[in-house]
Amino acid sequence: MAGTAAVLALLYFTAWAKDSSPDIAVDTTPLNRDARPVTSYAAVIKKAAPSVVNIYSTQIIHMRPFRLPFEDDPFFRQFFGFRFPNDRELTRREESLGSGVIVSSDGYILTANHVIEGADEIKVSLGNNDQKEYAAKVVGADPVTDIAVLKINATGLPAITLGDSDQLEVGDVVLALGNPFGVGQSVTMGIVSALGRRVGSPTGGYAIQDFIQTDAAINPGNSGGALIDAEGRLIGINTMIKSSTYGNEGVGFAVPINLARHVMDRLIAHGSITHAYLGILMQDLTPDFAEEFGVPDQKYGVLVQNVQPGSPADKAGIEAGDIIIDFNGKPVRNGQALQMAVSESNPDTEVAIKLIRNGQTKTVRVKLGILPGETAGNQNGQMGNRAANYDQLDGVTVDDLTPDARQQLQIPDNVKGALVTNVDPDSNAADAGLQVNDVIMAINRHPVSNASEAVNVCNHATTDHILLKIWRRDNGMAGTLFLSVDNTKRQKQ
């Protein structure tokens, strides 16, 4: 079947099971930090280890065939009278390994989104001796927090007990369980090294992060596995490391279980999640700023750097230079605390924000919006159709330019467009030089200001080449450039 013009399509996460809430055990009893040190955690591990599973995901990657220069010559085709072998579509299977945690006896499993993202097939192997495998379905996934929920068709499973990550303190003993490097279930021990860490999104897109940092060894294959406390309760989902060698160097991160549970509950109930949106650029309050802006207590507050036009903050009258000190009754200590407070709120709800302006305290009512680029069941936009794999912008993923992304990537306010969050290395766009964190400003000379407009413009692209105007920051230099992406269709055999 012949390919059509390059297409941008929205990714939708469809709920496989939207049953009533599963029976999840939660224990919020504080740790006894005055207890005498123990000489073994064997009993704790025996209790928690059966709940940790291995996850095997498989993705079918479609590759463009390599052709010799003369293969398209009609004379050679007529002379030989048959198709060249390279006419056949090439595919390869890409497999990855991760971990997950059983949170209900009827088969709900919590894991990291990047463990299963883009997978065509997911299998779950229980950690017990029989190594029985189950086919898993994706109930829902949230790239913004890197959390996903799977479901397997089984009952009577050993579900873990969830703890309360808000009660963690630096120095608490933690254990990480998972399947590092595919060697089999392993346990490592460490302490909570820090709380409330934000390390930046691996893709450069918007991310909600409030990580638990630990020196318990986390290695490839541990992602999605359990971080438990000394009582064997789940207090985090292992997700990433900081390393110069791609192996453990003692700086690992886990999503706190309270945040993961908040996302999980929404995914199970609705199959998708949308995030609330305020619409400001902000920075933490320093002593100098506190004095300049007349803030009596420098321990609290976030300085508003800029307000996105048309955003909920703009409509409520929040201005650059305001100091936000309270969000819906909760003191705002820093920018991360404000982001978490917004993320824990539901879109389209009204909240009270207390701020200081010109030394005077006032309260404004804000109706939160939906994070740009998200709709119900949708997280981002993908250029091209991976299943068809004949459109030349296949494998390019775009998202809206959020205030957080602008701040992280130092993108000027006057740059409008769609942020590139992924480029398949086998795509024509990659051949043309498109890179992650590029901002697509125009397609075939049609300006675009967000992901949705990019979707619409590319839907109507019919030329042999797609002309992209992009903004890029590279090695300290920033500016616009043009890329021409080959849009010659391939015949699918």
Q: What does the H/E/C string look like for 82-137?
A: CCCHHHCCEEEEEEEEEEEEECCCCCEEEECHHHHCCCCEEEEECCCCCCCEEEEE
Give the CA count within 13 Å in the CB-facing half-sphere of 258. 16
Tell me the residue type at 453: E
Task: Report CA-CA distances (Å) from 232 to 99, 106, 235.
Answer: 17, 20, 9
Q: What does the H/E/C string look like for 19-78?
A: CCCCCCCECCCCCCCCCCCCCCCHHHHHHHHHHEEEEEEEEEEEECCCCCHHHHCHHHHH
Give the CA count within 13 Å in the CB-facing half-sphere of 346. 5
Which of the residues are catalytic? Answer: 114, 146, 223
What is the spatial distance between Cα 293 and Cα 348, in angstroms, rounded to a whole number?
31
Q: Which DSSP letter does residue 7 get?
A: -
3-state secondary structure of 153: coil
Task: Count the neighbouring beta carbons within 10 Å of the beta carbon of residue 31.
Answer: 18
Q: Which residues pair with 397 in a beta bridge?
A: 382, 422
- Cβ(90)–Cβ(65) below 8 Å: yes
What is the spatial distance between Cα 342 and Cα 196, in angstroms, rounded to a whole number?
15
Q: What angle do CA 410, 412, 418 make, to 5 degrees?
A: 90
